[in-house]
C-alpha cells in the first residue's frame, strides 16, 4: 500500500541494490610465450657445400629425426635412415632422439651431412644370413645331385653323429630365425646394404664348407666315439639354451618403442647368472655352442668357423663393454667382455 501511495503521488521507488557476487573474477589469459624459431643449415661434410637452409622455421623442440625428415622432403634421395648429421665435419653422428634446443648451438644451427649409403633393415639381414646356411646344409645332408659322386645321390650317412649334427645345425639357425622375428629389439633400424653381401658370404660359405665334410661319404666319426658325441651334445644344447635366455633378458630390459639403455643383471633364470662376471654372455654362450659342435663333429672347417667367430665376437663384446663403462658410472667392475676374468 505504501508503494502504491508513493507511486500515486509521483514519487520514485529505488530499486534494491544488485546482489554482491562472491565468485572470484576470472584471471585474464596469459599471453602465449613467444617461440624463438631456429635457423638450420645443412652442409656437406666433405665439401662444406650448402645442401639445405631452413630460415627461422624449425621449432626448438624439433629432434634430429625431424630435421632429417625436412631434409628428405627437399631431396628424396637421402631418406632419414641414410643420413648422418654431425655438429662438426668429423664429429660423432647425432642420435635421432636428440633435441635441437638441447644441443650446443645457437639459434642458427649448422649440421654436417654424410651419406651412409643405401640401407637395409637389420631384421632382413639376419633372416637372409640365417636361412641360407639352413638350406645349404640340408642340401649336403640329403646329398643332392652334383655335390658328391652320382652313386651317393639321395643316400644317407651310416654314422649317427652325422644325423645329430644336422639336427643341431638346423636347430641353431631355426632358433636364430625365430629370435629375429619375435625376440630381438634392434638399437638401429637399418644397416648399410653392402653388409648383407658380406654377412651372407661369411655364413653361407662356412655352412657349405662344414656341410661338405660332415656329410661326405668318406667322413669318419670322432675319435672317442659315442662318449665324445654325447658330451659335446650336452655342451651344445646347454649353451643354446643359455644364449636364448640372455636374448630374452636383454629384450625385457627395453620396453617396446623405447631406446632407454639399462644395465643387465642376473635374474631368477640360472642361465643369466653369468651376467655377474660377463658383459656379453650371449657371445659367451654362442662360442660355447660352436665349441661343442666342433668337438661333436671333430671337423676342421667347424673349428675354423668357431675360431673366426670367436675373434669377431670378442671385438663386438669389447666394444659393448667399453660403451657400458662410458654410459654407466655404477657399472660392475668385476665384469669382463666375453670370458670371465680373462677377456
pLDDT tens-place string over residues 213-260: 999 999 999 999 999 999 999 999 999 999 999 999 999 988 766 777
3-state secondary structure of 131: helix
> Do the domain assignments include residue 23?
no
> Do the domain assignments include residue 294?
yes
CATH number at residue 102: 3.10.20.90
Burial class (CB in 10 A: 0-12, 13-18, 19+), 127: middle
Q: How far apart are CA 53 and CA 36, in angstroms?
A: 17
Both 176 and 270 in one domain: the answer is no
Please state, for a pLDDT cut of 70, what percent of the chain lies above it: 89
Both 320 and 294 in one domain: the answer is yes
**Strand partners of residue 336:** 278
- pLDDT score recorded for residue 38: 87
**Strand partners of residue 39:** 108
Q: How many domains does the chain have?
A: 3
pLDDT surpassing 70 at residue 76? yes
Q: How far apart are CA 288 and CA 218, in angstroms?
A: 28
Both 201 and 297 in one domain: the answer is no
Are 71 and 81 in contact, with CB atoms under 8 Å apart? no
Both 244 and 301 in one domain: the answer is yes
Q: What is the phi-psi region of residue 328: left when phi exceeds 0, alpha when psi lies from -120 to 50, beta otherwise?
A: beta
pLDDT surpassing 50 at residue 162? yes
Q: How far apart are CA 317 and CA 131, in angstroms?
A: 25
Are 294 and 206 in contact, with CB atoms under 8 Å apart? no
> Do the domain assignments include residue 13?
no
Both 267 and 175 in one domain: the answer is no
Q: How far apart are CA 116 and CA 316, in angstroms?
A: 21
What is the DSSP secondary structure assignment for residue 81, as one 8-state letter? G
Domain stop point among 101, 117, 133: 117
The terminus-to-terminus CA distance of the chain in angstroms comes to 110
Which residue has cell 665334410?
Answer: 213
**pLDDT interval class at 186 (50, 70, 90):** confident
Both 256 and 317 in one domain: the answer is yes
Output the CA–CA distances (angstroms, integers) from residue 282 to 27, 207, 247, 294, in the order listed. Answer: 61, 21, 7, 18
Q: How far apart are CA 185 and CA 252, in angstroms?
A: 9
> Do the domain assignments include residue 177?
yes
Both 95 and 129 in one domain: the answer is no
User: pLDDT for 13-57, tens place per residue?
Assistant: 555 666 655 666 666 666 556 677 889 999 999 999 999 998 878
**Strand partners of residue 110:** 41
pLDDT surpassing 60 at residue 302? yes
> Do the domain assignments include residue 49?
yes
> Do the domain assignments include residue 18?
no
pTM (2 decimals)?
Answer: 0.83
Residue range(s) defining the domain that contains residue 331 = 222-343
Amino acid at each position: 500500500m505504501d508503494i502504491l501511495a508513493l507511486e500515486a503521488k509521483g514519487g520514485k521507488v529505488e530499486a534494491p541494490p544488485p546482489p554482491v557476487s562472491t565468485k572470484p573474477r576470472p584471471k585474464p589469459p596469459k599471453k602465449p610465450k613467444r617461440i624463438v624459431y631456429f635457423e638450420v643449415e645443412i652442409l656437406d661434410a666433405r665439401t662444406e657445400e650448402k645442401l639445405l637452409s631452413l630460415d627461422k622455421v624449425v621449432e626448438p623442440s624439433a629432434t634430429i629425426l625431424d630435421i632429417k625428415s625436412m631434409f628428405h622432403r627437399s631431396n628424396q634421395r637421402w631418406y632419414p635412415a641414410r643420413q648422418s648429421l654431425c655438429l662438426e665435419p668429423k664429429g660423432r653422428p647425432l642420435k635421432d632422439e636428440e633435441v635441437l634446443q638441447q644441443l650446443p648451438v645457437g639459434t642458427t644451427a649448422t649440421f654436417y651431412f654424410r651419406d651412409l649409403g643405401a640401407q637395409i633393415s637389420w631384421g632382413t639381414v639376419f633372416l637372409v644370413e640365417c636361412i641360407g646356411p639352413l638350406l645349404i646344409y640340408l642340401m649336403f645332408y640329403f646329398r643332392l645331385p652334383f655335390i658328391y659322386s652320382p652313386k651317393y645321390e639321395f643316400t644317407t650317412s651310416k654314422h649317427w653323429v652325422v644325423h645329430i649334427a644336422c639336427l643341431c645345425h638346423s636347430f641353431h639357425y631355426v632358433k636364430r630365425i625365430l629370435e629375429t622375428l619375435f625376440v630381438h629389439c634392434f638399437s638401429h633400424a637399418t644397416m648399410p646394404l653392402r653388409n648383407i653381401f658380406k654377412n651372407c658370404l661369411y655364413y653361407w660359405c662356412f655352412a657349405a664348407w662344414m656341410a661338405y665334410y660332415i656329410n661326405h661319404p668318406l667322413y669318419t666319426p670322432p675319435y672317442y666315439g659315442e662318449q665324445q658325441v654325447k658330451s659335446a651334445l650336452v655342451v651344445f644344447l646347454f649353451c643354446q639354451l643359455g644364449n636364448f635366455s640372455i636374448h630374452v633378458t636383454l629384450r625385457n630390459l627395453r620396453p617396446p618403442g623405447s631406446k632407454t639403455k639399462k644395465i643387465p643383471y642376473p635374474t631368477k633364470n640360472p642361465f643369466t647368472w653369468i651376467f655377474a662376471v660377463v658383459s656379453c654372455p650371449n657371445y659367451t654362450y654362442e662360442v660355447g655352442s660352436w665349441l661343442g659342435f666342433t668337438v661333436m663333429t671333430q671337423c676342421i672347417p667347424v673349428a675354423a668357423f668357431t675360431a673366426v667367430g670367436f675373434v669377431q665376437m670378442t671385438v663386438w663384446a669389447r666394444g659393448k663393454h667399453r660403451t657400458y663403462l662410458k654410459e654407466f658410472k655404477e657399472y660392475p667392475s668385476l665384469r669382463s667382455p666375453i670370458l670371465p676374468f680373462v677377456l
